[in-house]
Amino acid sequence: MSRFVAFLGMSGPMWTQGYIAVDWGTTNRRAWRVTGGTVEDEFADDLGFTSVPAGGFPAAVATIRERLGDLPLLMAGMVGARGGWVPAPYLPCPLDLDTLARSLVEVPGERAFVVPGASFVDGLRGDVIRGEETQFFGAVHAGLCPPDALVCHPGTHNKWALMEGGRLTRFRTVMTGEMFSILRQQSLLKAWLDHEASPGEVFAEGVARGMEGRALTADLFTVRARVLLGSLAEEEVSSFVSGLLIGADIRTGLKGMPGEGEVTVMGRGALTRLFSAALTQVGRPNHEVDGEAAFLAGAQAIVERLS
């Protein structure tokens, strides 16, 4: 059984010798040993949430300490999801960093604490996040993005989040990364999706088509037809399809959000550069932020509130 920890109940000497910060995603996990705010060691692997067998989280967590040391664990992401190690709640928006820090869930006897996720409800539309909230607050805490910002967070499930006065007030998820993965593994386009997507003329063509709001299912089939008819080269398919999906993502993500101002594009560089190029193409100023740096800043900000 897990339990909420009192804000002062986990303060004091527990954190003075350092801690291990863990970002456990859907398809991968990353962990860092942090002492005095400095990363001393780290590792990453593909043991994401979907790769951990039922009941396998205790063993999977044990491997983290085997590699990085017997230290307290501060864990965010899918480790707190249904079917994860322990259930951690979704805290409703608007949400601030202090509320997040004092709502950690403890795994009794393990010196391990799980960061809750966040939820947003808008009429019939509900949305949830796990892990990204730590990055959002960390980016603001570290000055990587302003306290009032629209954040685009590419990944398996891309997030569009609005920060207002340093609080997370609303967000929307778009399954762009997962859709591309499914197309690469199972679709009639899979033979042509092994090339790396890159910004350029073909990518921009896909972005423009995606921004038009057509039916993606129809536009995706035309990709095969264009290859067969010779108007799209096989090696260009990844860039075009990426542009198509990202254009549709941006069209959805910007809807209902502030229409002006710089967008903070946060995550892994291979993805942020594509979204940054697409946003620039549609006339939206933006800057890229490394998601790892934002996560570590968020973990440190939480620990500072517990020390």
Residues present in the chain in total: 307
Say yes or no: 116 and 213 in one domain: no
Tens of pLDDT along 28-75? Answer: 899 999 998 899 999 999 998 889 998 899 999 999 999 999 999 999
Burial pattern 8-37, b for ≥16 Cβ within 10 A else e, equals eebeeeebeebbbbbbbbbbbbbbbbbeee
Alpha carbons 118 and 306: distance in angstroms, whole number: 20
pLDDT at 285 over 90: yes
Q: In the beta sheet, which residues pair with residue 128?
A: 119
Say yes or no: 178 and 116 in one domain: no
Say yes or no: 184 and 91 in one domain: no
Alpha carbons 177 and 245: distance in angstroms, whole number: 9
Given this model, what pLDDT does residue 256 score? Answer: 87
Alpha carbons 151 and 266: distance in angstroms, whole number: 7
pLDDT at 11 over 60: no
* 181, part of any domain: yes
Say yes or no: 200 and 264 in one domain: yes
Say yes or no: 120 and 12 in one domain: yes
Q: CB-based contacts of 247: which residues, under 8 Å, 6+ apart?
A: 206, 207, 208, 209, 210, 211, 212, 278, 282
Given this model, what pLDDT does residue 292 score? Answer: 95
Alpha carbons 55 and 52: distance in angstroms, whole number: 8
Say yes or no: 183 and 108 in one domain: no
Alpha carbons 193 and 180: distance in angstroms, whole number: 9
Burial of 110 (0-12, 13-18, 19+ CB in 10 A): middle
Given this model, what pLDDT does residue 2 score? Answer: 37
* 7, part of any domain: yes
Please choose, from the candidates 216, 266, 271, the residue with its C-alpha nearest in 3D space to the C-alpha of residue 241: 216
pLDDT at 5 over 50: no
Label residue 307 by pLDDT band (50, 70, 90): low
Given this model, what pLDDT does residue 13 score? Answer: 64
Pick the residue with more confidence: 206 or 48? 206
pLDDT at 9 over 50: no
Label residue 4 by pLDDT band (50, 70, 90): very low
Tens of pLDDT along 127-171? Answer: 999 999 999 999 999 999 999 999 999 998 999 999 999 999 999
| Total number of domains constituting the chain | 2
* 299, part of any domain: no
Residue spans of alpha helices (H) in the chain: 57-68, 97-101, 132-141, 176-186, 201-211, 216-229, 237-254, 269-281, 291-304
CATH number, position 102:
3.30.420.300
Domain of 179, in residue numbers: 173-291
The rounded percent of the chain whose pLDDT value lies above 90 is 84
Query: At residue 304, what is the residue type?
Result: E
Mean of per-residue pLDDT scores for the chain = 92
Is the CA virtual torsion 123, 119, 278, 234 positive or negative? negative
Question: Whole-prediction pTM value?
Answer: 0.91
Given this model, what pLDDT does residue 115 score? Answer: 97
CB contact at 8 A, 127 and 119: yes
The rounded percent of the chain whose pLDDT value lies above 70 is 95
**What mean pLDDT is predicted for residues 87-102?**
96
Given this model, what pLDDT does residue 249 score? Answer: 97
**What mean pLDDT is predicted for residues 256-263?**
89
Say yes or no: 97 and 209 in one domain: no
- β-pair type (105-107, 112-114): antiparallel
The structure tokens listed for 286 are 């933006």
Alpha carbons 253 and 271: distance in angstroms, whole number: 16
Question: Which letter does DSSP use for residue 194 in this model?
Answer: -
